[in-house]
């Protein structure tokens, strides 16, 4: 699957953009007496993915966005719009001289990487949306330990030779990784674990805490497995089923080995689109249009309509109304139906150098475990460059993000970023430009089923899109009563 992804051809979305831009005269036609199965508000990645999947499943979809561009709060920006998005003044002549043309930038406001064998890649291939995009592999997957960067090991051989694993833990860590790599849910013979005290592990019924305790691993090895490979940002893995821990580790391994072999792991398990993650909403928007979806950008929504039973039944835009069985939207369209669960701090830096300590990699992910900074949550550093066609050839773009753990009242965003991100920022200094934000992470207050109003959550601090696809699949199930076909076939 990923070989096709890496080789897929770039196809312009000009036809869709032109259709959206010239859709003004279609407004009466779209709203005058027509009804839909679903109305989608906002063109973030989650909303566009839902629009594409639902259209492909035969639902009549009307998709609206108040903005004249795709992406919403996670839009891909040129340099001028990036300054505007973060509340700054437009770039001056000095900035243009050092950074190049503003139009040569495609900067994601909330960048994330894709797993090569992950759920989003599966959906892209299954729906054909990958034909409208091109990807490059990310050049490295690293973890910060005691101030130094190390490549993340995954095979038993790599683990036993890695400086990330202490001498006393080499043997148990090697056995643990070998067992995880060998485990198959449907093959009972692979469930037998251990050398001296052998036991059959029932992972679905076993907590993560019990699973890790069984293997008697030291904290640094657990940190490596759970934070750099399974990509948990905190210790929530302790209460999850052990089967989920192993699934996430195997996803990392399977993605890493694509294009190589059992003894030839690649530099990272991640993909990133050429021209940025902003290409994803457009690809899924085009998918929706192919299956009959109607898209209208630059269309403010004045009101979401509800019937007497309290269920969403359409929207009003000026004097026009569109009727639907349910409504989907991002948090900005439903401020009364979301709550802030935490805050995310994010720094985007434009640099004339690669991340320090990464051996001049053109792109990479760095996991900074919370323990390194005296925190509960990890810090993620994502870096891309001109290799991904998101900026000029001599520029690197880094995004540093995490969950805010301290108070935010009375502090400016720079003070919060310095406190929360700490030593992680040293990897990007000095930079030509810094863009800093502290934003609430919003989640819906209900699953939306009773009100037929399905609100997506805002971007979190994680470094990959897997959790976003899980959320999309759950909303799709609540609307249709089925899981997306691509994910059903995958399982």
Give Cα 290 to chain centroid, integer Å.
25
What pLDDT digit, counting tens, does each position of 420-455 carry?
A: 998 899 999 999 999 999 999 999 999 999 999 999
Question: Contact 11/299 with Cβ under 8 angstroms?
Answer: no
* Partners of residue 148 on adjacent β-strands: 145
Q: What is the pLDDT of residues 301-319, one digit of tens each?
A: 999 999 999 999 999 999 9
User: Can you give the pLDDT at residue 73?
Assistant: 84
pLDDT of 52-63, one tens digit each?
999 999 999 999
CA distance linking residue 293 with residue 57, whole number of Å: 11
Q: Taking all residues of the chain, what is their mean pLDDT, rounded to a whole number?
A: 90
Contacts of 97 (CB under 8 A, 6+ apart): none
Percent of the chain at pLDDT > 90 equals: 81
Q: What is the pLDDT of residue 259?
A: 84
> Distance of CA 107 to CAs 85, 248, 316, Å?
11, 28, 33
Is the Cβ–Cβ distance between 440 and 408 less than 8 Å?
Answer: no
Cα-trace Rg, the chain: 23
**Can you tell me the distance from the alpha carbon of 91 to that of 83, in angstroms, rounded to the nearest whole number?**
7
SS3 at position 128: coil
Q: Read off φ and ψ for residue 65, nearest 5 degrees.
A: -145, 135
User: Of 400, 390, 469, 456, nearest to 121 (Cα)?
Assistant: 469
Residue 302's pLDDT is 96
Scored b (16 or more CB within 10 A) or e, 48-79 reads bbbbbbbbbbebbbbbbbbbebbbbbbbbbeb
For 442-486, give the secondary structure using H, E and C: EEECCCCCCCCEEECCCCCCCCECHHHHHHHHHHHHHHHCCCCHH
Q: pLDDT per residue over 286-305, tens digit each?
A: 999 999 999 999 999 999 99
**Residue 73 or 97, more confident:** 73
Structure tokens at 153: 């090991």
Q: What percent of the chain has pLDDT over 70?
A: 91
* Per-residue confidence (pLDDT) for residue 9, from 0 to 100: 25
Per the CB < 8 A criterion, the answer to whether 374 and 366 are in contact is no
Statement: residue 32 has pLDDT above 90: no
pLDDT digits (tens, 9 = 90+) for 132-190: 899 999 999 999 999 999 999 998 889 989 999 999 999 999 999 999 999 999 999 99
Q: Is the pLDDT of residue 10 over 50?
A: no
Nearest of 418, 252, 230, 317 to residue 23 by alpha carbon: 317
Answer yes or no: are the C-beta atoms of 356 and 426 closer than 8 Å.
Answer: yes
pLDDT for 460: 93
> Among positive and negative, which fits the CA dihedral 327, 331, 332, 334?
positive
The tokens for 401 are 């993000």
Residue 130 CB partners (closer than 8 Å, separation 6+) = 4, 5, 8, 121, 124, 283
Residue 399: exposed, middle, or buried by beta-carbon count in 10 A (0-12, 13-18, 19+)? buried
Longest dimension (CA), the chain: 75
- All domains in the chain, ordered by first residue: 2-74+277-337+445-490 (3.50.50.60), 87-139+339-442 (3.30.519.10), 153-257 (1.10.405.10)
Between 195 and 42, name the one with better pLDDT: 42
Query: CA-to-CA distance for 1 and 4, rounded, in angstroms?
Result: 5
Q: Which pLDDT tens digit goes with each residue over 385-410? A: 999 999 999 999 999 999 999 999 99
Question: Can you give the pLDDT at residue 182?
Answer: 95
The pairing of beta strand 114-115 with beta strand 270-273: antiparallel
Q: What is the pLDDT of residue 31?
A: 56
Residue 488: in which H helix or E strand, if any?
A: helix 485-490
- pLDDT single digits (tens) 81-107: 998 888 776 767 776 678 989 999 999
Which residues pair with residue 38 across a beta bridge?
A: 61, 326
Q: Is there a contact between 395 and 350 (Cβ–Cβ < 8 Å)?
A: yes
Cα 41 from Cα 299, distance rounded (Å): 10
């Amino acid at each position: 699957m990923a070989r096709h992804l890496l080789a897929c051809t770039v196809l312009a979305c000009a036809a869709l953009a032109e259709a959206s831009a010239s859709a003004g005269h279609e407004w009466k036609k779209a709203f005058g007496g027509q009804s839909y199965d679903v109305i989608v508000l906002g063109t973030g990645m989650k909303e566009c993915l839902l629009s594409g999947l639902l259209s492909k499943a035969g639902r009549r979809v009307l998709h609206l966005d108040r903005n004249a561009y795709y992406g919403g709060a996670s839009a891909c920006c040129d340099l001028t719009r990036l300054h505007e998005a973060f509340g700054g003044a437009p770039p001056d002549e000095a900035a243009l001289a050092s950074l190049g043309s503003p139009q040569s930038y495609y900067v994601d406001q909330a960048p994330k990487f894709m797993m090569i064998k992950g759920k989003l890649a599966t959906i892209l291939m299954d729906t054909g949306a990958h034909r409208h995009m091109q990807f490059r592999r990310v050049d490295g997957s690293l973890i910060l330990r005691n101030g130094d960067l190390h490549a993340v090991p995954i095979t038993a051989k790599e683990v036993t030779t890695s400086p990330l694993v202490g001498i006393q833990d080499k043997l148990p860590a090697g056995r643990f990784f070998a067992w995880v790599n060998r485990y198959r849910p449907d093959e009972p013979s692979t469930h037998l674990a251990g050398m001296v005290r052998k036991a059959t592990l029932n992972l679905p019924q076993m907590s993560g805490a019990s699973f890790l305790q069984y293997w008697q691993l030291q904290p640094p090895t657990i940190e490596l497995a759970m934070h750099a490979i399974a990509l948990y940002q905190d210790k929530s893995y302790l209460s999850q089923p052990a089967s989920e821990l192993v699934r996430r580790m195997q996803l990392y391994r399977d993605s890493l080995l694509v294009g190589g072999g059992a003894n030839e792991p690649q530099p990272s398990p991640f993909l990133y689109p050429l021209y940025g993650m902003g290409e994803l909403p457009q690809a899924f928007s085009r998918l929706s249009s192919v299956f009959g979806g109607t898209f209208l950008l630059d269309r403010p929504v004045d009101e979401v309509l509800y019937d007497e039973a309290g269920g969403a039944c359409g929207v009003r835009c000026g004097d026009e109304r569109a009727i639907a069985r349910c409504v989907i939207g991002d948090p900005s369209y439903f401020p009364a139906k979301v709550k802030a669960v935490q805050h995310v701090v994010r720094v985007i830096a434009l640099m004339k150098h690669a991340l320090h300590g990464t051996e001049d990699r053109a792109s990479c992910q760095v996991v900074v475990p919370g323990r390194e900074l005296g925190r509960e949550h990890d810090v993620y550093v994502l870096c891309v460059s001109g290799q991904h066609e998101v900026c000029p050839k001599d520029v690197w773009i880094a995004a540093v993000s995490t969950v805010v753990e301290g108070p935010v009242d009375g502090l400016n965003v720079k003070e919060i970023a310095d406190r929360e991100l700490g030593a992680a920022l040293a990897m990007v200094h000095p930079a030509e430009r810094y863009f800093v934000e502290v934003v609430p992470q919003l989640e819906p207050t209900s699953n939306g089923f009773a009100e037929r109003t399905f609100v997506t959550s805002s971007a979190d601090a994680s470094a990959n899109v897997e959790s976003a696809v899980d959320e999309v699949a759950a909303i799709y199930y609540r609307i249709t009563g089925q899981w997306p076909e691509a994910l059903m076939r995958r399982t």
